[in-house]
Homo-oligomer: A and B are copies of this chain.
Amino acid sequence: MTHDNSTHSTSSRSRIEEDRQREEDRAGSPGAGAVMRVIIPLQGVVQGRGGVVLGSVIPCALFYFLQLYLKRHRSERAPRDEVPPPPRRPSSSHPKPVLVSSRALHVIEDENSPYYMGWKAYKQNPYDAENNPSGVIQMGLAENQLSLDLIEGWLKSHPEVSSWEGISDTPLSLRGISGYQDHHGMPILRSVMADFMHEVMKVPFNPDQIVLTAGATPAIEMLGFCLAEPGNAFLVPSPYYPSFTRDLKWRAGVELVPVPCRSSDNFNVTINALDRAFSQTKKRRLTVRALLISNPSNPVGTTLDSATLSMLLGFATEKNIHLICDEIYAGSVYDSPNFISIAKVLDSGEFDKSRVHIIYGTSKDLCLPGFRVGVIYSYNDKVLKAARKMSRFCAVSSQTQHLLIAMLSDTQFIQQYMTENQRRLGKMSHVLTEGLKEAGIKYVKSNAGLYCWVEMGNLMPSYSEKGEINLWDKLLNETKINVTPGSACHCIEPGWFRICFSTLSCQDMTVALQRIREFSKHCKRSS
């Protein structure tokens, strides 16, 4: 998609170049010769009558109309991507391979991020305390497995939710759910989801503003389709979630423009950085259509305060662009300050709501990424209308909706679960940061999410992106620890890494910290 657009814009740019080139060529070409052969005698005639003005106007006009004729003539030829019709021939001997789209080719080629190479390395050689103690420890995947036992316990103690016995006549029987549903989610689930989001974010939500999608990934893509023309841009404070680029660029064709945040600001976004990015993007002839933020921040693991949220809203309002808040980790806040949803700030009534869209889902806070449940919560009627219809492309399984309706309706369980999950996240974050301290590694004090944002610049062979990737490679291939390098998150400063702590047991975390300590020692010794 994006590639297609870039080729599109490149091709239109190169077409201008070509036009220019052809016109320049034509000055010394047979075509230009021909025009001169017409103009010169004519000018002779005119000059013969002494017409200085006409003598200038006529050749100019003729040259102009010639150009016009050639331009029209050219544009009547076949479009650039037309496949010339092959002659009828025996079908099996066709020599030409059939073409796939340029967007498909772009997606195929877009594969070199260390973020994904690390995943692959882990998959090929996963650590297991007993069976593969020298394998790769996965600290690059933002998946929460710390509280899965609680979800499993609830499912086991509520067999009626998963069983198909005894509910034949209810709307949640197989007959009730097996057929086509509202693509954007069953009404009961949207209602229960609104209550769940209220519980998590401490602000009420309207079920009619919810569009459910098969995970947060298609929710983000959907907003790309709804808010931007192909080739338009979204500003994104960096470091940011590495896959935003794929989510928005591959098919929706949205360009992401990083708004660099710095360690000196604790990686908080500033109005100056926003203003600068906005005007630089305009200079690149890109139209900015939205500002995309994640709160809690992925990868930094901090929450935004209400002053910052108001500043972001003010900026979006001033530039008349949309504000997308990815709040997928809203329930994974384990330390003060508390999480503040953009929905809370909108409650003040100070801002136009129609530019605000929230992303949520059950992948992080409920440990269920495989179940593919995402949420778009929009205040914009047009976006809601379009997204409801487009959700045909990413509808949630009704079987999973059926399960979630029951689970989210058990508000007592949900409250207990959220508290306990946050306690466990906080504990694991503490274990990790204590270990990092011991290893002499600095980090940003975080209060949310499944990861810690650490600084290992002093361990790098050189202070550069290359040095960072070199360190990451050593960590992965020598120390067998997979983390996410800051460059994959578009961090402007080299030496930062995202380390996830929620896929490991306490025992495995001890092994991981031991490896990191030794790695740190080794690096310092060799420098």
Contacts and interface: CB of A to CB of B under 8 A. Distances in A.
Contacts of A285: 78-79
A369 B395 CA distance: 11
A91 interface: yes
Given A318-B89, A397-B397, A104 B386 contact: yes
A522 interface: no
Given A229-B81, A394-B393, A395-B214, A370 B179 contact: yes
A367 interface: yes
A107 B397 contact: no
A229 B181 contact: no
A272 interface: no
A374 to B, nearest CB: 11
B393 A217 contact: yes
Contacts of A382: 100, 104-105, 108
Given A23-B68, A145-B175, A318-B91, A397 B251 contact: no
A53 B372 CA distance: 74
A117 B511 CA distance: 62
Contacts of A397: 214, 370-373, 396-397, 399-400
Interface stretch (A35-43, A199-207, A329-337): A35-43
Interface in A138-154: 141, 143, 145, 148, 151-152
B162 A163 contact: yes
Interface string A57-84: 1011101100110010001001101110
Interface stretch (A255-263, A346-354, A440-448, A471-479): A346-354
B141 A168 contact: no
B398 A399 contact: no
Given A85-B282, A225-B104, A39 B64 contact: no
Interface stretch (A319-327, A409-417, A429-437, A457-465): A319-327
A97 interface: yes
Given A99-B289, A370-B397, 17 more contacts: A12-B12, A23-B64, A27-B61, A36-B57, A47-B52, A47-B55, A67-B67, A86-B318, A100-B383, A100-B386, A103-B225, A103-B226, A162-B164, A178-B369, A180-B370, A214-B214, A230-B230
Interface of A: 1, 4, 8, 12, 16, 20, 23, 27, 36, 39-40, 43-44, 47, 52-53, 55-57, 59-61, 63-64, 67-68, 71, 75, 78-79, 81-83, 85-86, 88-89, 91-92, 94, 96-105, 107-108, 110, 141, 143, 145, 148, 151-152, 155-156, 159, 162-165, 168, 174-175, 177-181, 214-215, 217-218, 221, 225-230, 232, 246-247, 250-252, 282, 285, 287, 289, 313-314, 317-322, 349-352, 354-355, 367-373, 380, 382-383, 385-386, 389-390, 392-400, 403
